Amino acid sequence: MSSSPDDTTPGIFRSEEVCLSQLFLQSEAAYTSVAELGELGLVQFRDLNPDTSSFQRKFVSEVRRCDEMERKLRFLEREIKKDQIPMLDTGENPDAPQPREMIDLEATFEKLENELREVNQNEETLKKNFSELTELKHILRKTQTFFEEIHRRDGPGSVRASASTSATDREPLIHVDDEAHAPGELFRQIFGYDRRTTNEHRQSGGGDSMQGGGGPDDVIVADPAAESETMELTGPAAGHGHAGMFANFGFVAGVIQRERIPAFERLLWRACRGNVFLRHSEIDDVLNDTATGEPINKSVFIIFFQGDQLKTKVKKICEGFRATLYPCPDTPSERREMSIGVMTRIEDLKTVLGQTQDHRHRVLVAAAKNVRMWLTKVRKIKSIYHTLNLFNIDVTQKCLIAECWCPVDALDRIRMALKRGTYNKLEEESGSTVPSILNRMDTTEAPPTYNKSNKYTVGFQNIVDAYGIATYREINPAIYTMISFPFLFAVMFGDMGHGTIMLLAALFLILREKQLEAARIRDEIFQMFFGGRYVIFLMGAFSIYTGFLYNDIFSKSLNIFGSAWANSLLPNETQPFFDKGLLEVPLMLVPEKAYVTSPYPIGVDPVWNLAEANKLSFLNSMKMKSSVILGIGQMTFGLILSYHNYKYFHSDLDVKFMFIPQMLFMACIFIYLCLQIIVKWLAYSATAGVVFGYEYPGSNCAPSLLIGLINMFMMKSRDAGFVGADGKVSWGCSNNLWYPGQSFFETVFVLIALACIPVMLFAKPYFMWKAEKERQAGNGHMQLGTAETVLVIVAVVQIPIMLFVKPFFVWRRDKAAAATRESVRADMNGGDSEAEVVHHEPKTNGGGGHGHGDGPLLKDGDGTEAKKLDMADVMVYQAIHTIEFALGCISHTASYLRLWALSLAHAQLSDVLWTMVFRAAFRSDGYIGAISTYLLFFAFFFLSVFILVLMEGLSAFLHALRLHWVEFQSKFYGGHGYVFAPFSFEKILEAEREAEEA
């Protein structure tokens, strides 16, 4: 271990010590060694071939093979999902397979993929055949029914027609021939019962249908007798080859999607001018689309037409509508035969299809057991080769050289892992191989920041990391944030009721942790709450505590310990108000009489909840003062942390010329203010007396601290004491000096604070410049150094004295006007706008390039490595830092007042919710009262949860976040680091899985 004394401090406050190491891996053992390191997950490899493109690296072909395997596995997975076969995912973690296993895996996947593709192809063909046959079956069946229906219409004649002797049919044919003037008319008469569809044509076609041979008009006049006559024609009309005009009278039959029927019908009618006849019927079974497998509704149609020209036209239209045409024999017997043939073929196909599907299922079920495990294996192989691609290959080709960052703590474990990796290899192959070597290297490069975290701390670590990754080995604020964050949140959110809701919600997430994690809910908002469940839990717990101190539970108070206040008014004092009916007139219970010597022990006295008139002025004063004290406390704590940082980095320069002046500045103005607040609390009460040697007439003379602070800066002369020489209480007594020597002390404090500013500004750059000069000179005159230091400090302190002392005395002589309330406001506003400037400032730090780290770097005397000192740069950085600190202290103190503002807003909102919504329920009695209580409770609860807990909670969360990022961390946090990203199978697999699910 290194000799640094700071190593004895526990490691939790800083990031892990990380060192750069070189690895020499035998090329045979490199793969297994990297696999072991991946399981360990504690090593971050550096790319040693940054100039080589990813296509020129050594193991590019292996990576490609892995990609190919992954593709095949994903294909398999898709197929498995399509068949809804459950995939076995035990979450087990198979070891990365040996490189030669890769060939086996590849062969397995290749076989599986080919098999599956073949099966799929076969299945597709079979299915296509099957659906075609099914369609044909339907066509045959439907056309059969068309024809049969027609015969049935004919009554006894149908028997004759089915005999299908052309001679008997001849007679009525001629009969029709006389009547039919156009072929369209003929068809219509043949299928006269289909009047409805033709009527539709007439209606929709409008003028067109009139041109179409005037057929439809005749339909209406056609009487049933004429129809029954024409029926006899149908038998022969269905086929070709009959004598007379039916010699070229043909039909086509096919299947079309049901939705296309109306358009199809209309187009046929128009294109063929009504000279074709369409008859269609819906297929009752739902067929499946061959390509997509989606269910689809289809209809059988049959079109009659005359002549080849029409035939081609009809066929074209059918094609256009994606209708499938099937051959349909002319005669019933042929149709029947065909139908039987089709049925047997369908049955055969069904058997074959079933077998194919069974086979596919078996293949997939077998694959489903392994597919997740295979995927894990392949991903591991791939990541190993990716890592190997980062390595350098030795000239002898015997070994691979890697550079990596690894935590010093874990070096032994890494060595063990390497040994395992090499040993596994040796076990299998005889032959002496040199073990892998891990070599620690020295580097000037800043190592990555590695903060260990567990599931409790990760939420807070994320809060800190969101602002910036800590500089290497810098104090990690997350440790302190773990309590201070929920605490500051709770100061703003203090309410027992709302805190309990929040606590229970977090408790639910924590207790159901395992189940919720397993459910892998991808919802972003849920993920946010789930990830922060321990943060929310602590926030809820602290809110209950602060709510208890604020004595607020849904804006109501508890009187547990007995109020410190009682009634001091005599009945004869209150009676007049009752007589006049002025029940709501507020009367003050004066503290001298109504207050019982000791305060309510824990929290705010419940009497203030009843004091609607001046509750706010009491609470505001309390919350404001607490905010300032808590804020200054936190900022001082931040400064102390900065001391530990400087100390850790052995930067005496920073301790002397940054920490000490900053602390002095803080103490002289802000800690002094806090002390004043506390002294005022302790010393001044409502009763008159003698305080600090001055006669104190009563509460109206209690010193006003804010105006006092302004007067302190302006060095305004004031009267000492509250009572003038004449024994009268002087006007504006609260602004007077209130302890002996106050004027002197305050002057000294202001001067010290002002003197600190030039020290902060110039001292560090000066010493850096001096050190640089000495280094260049080659040897330093150390004895001169001390003398110089003293001289410089004296000189620097002179500056503010020269600047301010004379004006101060001049000022002191003339009596300036009293400070007004406006000046306070102006100052506060000024402070707030500063807060904005400061908020953006840390980003510019990185550009400055001279962080805290520069001190140690130059001090280390690493002459060759140290950058040449750029005085302008240093000065700019120092000026920014000084201005940021000096103004920041003021604006940050003002910024902490948000603790007061938000808790005030929260308390007021919950009060309004109670009085406006829920209280109304208690005004009515009886059943109405019960019902209104029941209903209003829901409104109250809903608004409580959504507005007060969720919205207010979010706002308080953001403000607490800001207080930590800006006000707290600006005091000590550099945040110039980069995160330690080790090569870890666990992380890689998790990332892949998330990408898969996204």
Partner 1 sequence: MGIVIPMAVVTGFWALVGILGPFVVRRGPNQGIIRTMIVMTAVCCWAFWILVYLHQLNPLIGPQIPVKTIRWLGEKWGNTNN
Which residues, 540 to 599, sit near partner 1 by CB under 8 A?
542, 545-546, 549-550, 561-570, 574, 577-578, 582-591, 593-599
Residue given tokens 């269910």 in the structure block: 295
Q: Does 603 bind partner 1 (CB under 8 A)?
A: yes
Question: What are the backbone dihedrals phi and psi of residue 580, each rounded to the nearest 5 degrees, phi first?
Answer: -85, -5
Question: What are the backbone dihedrals phi and psi of residue 150, each rounded to the nearest 5 degrees, phi first?
Answer: -60, -40
With contacts defined by CB under 8 A, how many residues of the chain interact with partner 1?
A: 81
Cβ distance to partner 1 smaller for residue 704 or 882: 704
Question: What are the backbone dihedrals phi and psi of residue 277, each rounded to the nearest 5 degrees, phi first?
Answer: -125, 130
- Label residue 87 exposed, middle or buried (CB < 10 Å: 0-12, 13-18, 19+): middle
| Residue 781: Cβ within 10 Å count | 10
Closest distance to partner 1 from the beta carbon of 618 (Å): 6
Find the binder of partner 1 among 170, 195, 615, 987 (CB under 8 A).
Answer: 615
DSSP 279-291: EEEE-SSPEE-TT
Residue given tokens 């922060």 in the structure block: 532
Span interacting with partner 1, options 41-49, 127-135, 429-437, 605-613, rule CB under 8 A: 605-613
Cβ distance to partner 1 smaller for residue 78 or 923: 923
Query: What is residue 517's three-state secondary structure?
Result: helix
CA angle 381, 385, 388 (to 5 degrees): 140
Binding mask 503-542 for partner 1 (x = CB under 8 A): ---------------------------------------x
Closest distance to partner 1 from the beta carbon of 830 (Å): 27
DSSP code, position 13 = G
Cβ distance to partner 1 smaller for residue 558 or 931: 558
Residues in region 12-71 near partner 1 by CB under 8 A = 12-13
| Residue 296: Cβ within 10 Å count | 16
**How far apart (Å, rounded) are the C-alpha atoms in residues 663 and 666?**
5
Cβ distance to partner 1 smaller for residue 20 or 611: 611
Residues in region 623-642 near partner 1 by CB under 8 A = 625-626, 629-630, 633
Query: What is residue 406's three-state secondary structure?
Result: strand
| Residue 240: Cβ within 10 Å count | 12
Closest distance to partner 1 from the beta carbon of 588 (Å): 5
Cβ distance to partner 1 smaller for residue 603 or 638: 603
Closest distance to partner 1 from the beta carbon of 112 (Å): 45
Binding mask 701-730 for partner 1 (x = CB under 8 A): -x----------------------------
**How far apart (Å, rounded) are the C-alpha atoms in residues 981 and 983?**
7
Find the binder of partner 1 among 610, 837, 912, 930 (CB under 8 A).
Answer: 610
Cβ distance to partner 1 smaller for residue 83 or 612: 612
Span interacting with partner 1, options 115-123, 124-132, 616-624, 874-882, rule CB under 8 A: 616-624
| Residue 220: Cβ within 10 Å count | 10
Closest distance to partner 1 from the beta carbon of 666 (Å): 18
Closest distance to partner 1 from the beta carbon of 932 (Å): 24
Closest distance to partner 1 from the beta carbon of 571 (Å): 8
Span interacting with partner 1, options 600-608, 665-673, 736-744, 758-766, rule CB under 8 A: 600-608
Cβ distance to partner 1 smaller for residue 263 or 587: 587
Cβ distance to partner 1 smaller for residue 384 or 624: 624
Q: Where are the beta strands (DSSP E) in 327-436?
A: 392-393, 399-407
Residue 679 amino acid letter: V
Cβ distance to partner 1 smaller for residue 56 or 559: 559
Find the binder of partner 1 among 238, 364, 464, 607 (CB under 8 A).
Answer: 607
Residues in region 145-184 near partner 1 by CB under 8 A = none
CA angle 894, 900, 903 (to 5 degrees): 150
Q: Helix 871-895 vs helix 764-777: angle between axes, to the nearest 10 degrees?
A: 160
Cβ distance to partner 1 smaller for residue 383 or 551: 551
Residues in region 785-824 near partner 1 by CB under 8 A = none
Cβ distance to partner 1 smaller for residue 30 or 475: 475
Closest distance to partner 1 from the beta carbon of 551 (Å): 9
User: In the chain, what's the furthest Cα-to-Cα distance?
Assistant: 149
Do residues 863 and 457 make contact, with C-beta atoms less than 8 angstroms apart? no
**How far apart (Å, rounded) are the C-alpha atoms in residues 715 and 729?**
23
Closest distance to partner 1 from the beta carbon of 938 (Å): 30
Cβ distance to partner 1 smaller for residue 76 or 624: 624
Residue environment code for 14-31, b if the CB has 16+ CB neighbours within 10 A, otherwise e? bbbbbebbebbbbbbbbb
How far is residue 771 from each of residues 509, 768, 795, 823, 857, measured CA to CA in Å?
Answer: 57, 5, 19, 45, 12
The structure tokens listed for 95 are 């070891």
Q: Does 413 bind partner 1 (CB under 8 A)?
A: no
Closest distance to partner 1 from the beta carbon of 612 (Å): 7
Residues in region 669-708 near partner 1 by CB under 8 A = 678, 681-686, 699, 702
Question: What are the backbone dihedrals phi and psi of residue 448, each rounded to the nearest 5 degrees, phi first?
Answer: -70, 160
Residue 293 amino acid letter: G
Query: How far apart, in Å, do the first and last CA atoms of the chain sit?
Result: 45
DSSP 125-139: HHHHHHHHHHHHHHH
Find the binder of partner 1 among 4, 6, 11, 521 (CB under 8 A).
Answer: 11
Cβ distance to partner 1 smaller for residue 589 or 875: 589
Residues in region 433-492 near partner 1 by CB under 8 A = 454, 456-457, 479-480, 482-484, 487, 491
Do residues 556 and 609 make contact, with C-beta atoms less than 8 angstroms apart? yes
Closest distance to partner 1 from the beta carbon of 92 (Å): 26
Closest distance to partner 1 from the beta carbon of 614 (Å): 5
Residues in region 105-144 near partner 1 by CB under 8 A = none
Do residues 455 and 533 make contact, with C-beta atoms less than 8 angstroms apart? no
**How far apart (Å, rounded) are the C-alpha atoms in residues 136 and 342?**
8
- Name 279's bridge partners: 302
Find the binder of partner 1 among 614, 798, 915, 924 (CB under 8 A).
Answer: 614
Cβ distance to partner 1 smaller for residue 414 or 607: 607
Do residues 126 and 346 make contact, with C-beta atoms less than 8 angstroms apart? no
Residues in region 822-841 near partner 1 by CB under 8 A = none
Do residues 949 and 540 make contact, with C-beta atoms less than 8 angstroms apart? no
Q: Does 263 bind partner 1 (CB under 8 A)?
A: no
Find the binder of partner 1 among 203, 443, 617, 908 (CB under 8 A).
Answer: 617
Cβ distance to partner 1 smaller for residue 287 or 569: 569
Do residues 28 and 20 make contact, with C-beta atoms less than 8 angstroms apart? no
The structure tokens listed for 536 are 């929310």
Q: Of 964, 972, 965, 908, which Cα lies nearest the Cα of 488?
A: 964
Find the binder of partner 1 among 1, 2, 10, 726 (CB under 8 A).
Answer: 10
Closest distance to partner 1 from the beta carbon of 566 (Å): 5
Cβ distance to partner 1 smaller for residue 236 or 407: 407
Chain centroid to CA 899: 27
DSSP code, position 246 = G
Closest distance to partner 1 from the beta carbon of 589 (Å): 4
Cβ distance to partner 1 smaller for residue 355 or 614: 614
Span interacting with partner 1, options 96-104, 607-615, 865-873, 972-980, rule CB under 8 A: 607-615
Cβ distance to partner 1 smaller for residue 491 or 759: 491
Closest distance to partner 1 from the beta carbon of 685 (Å): 3
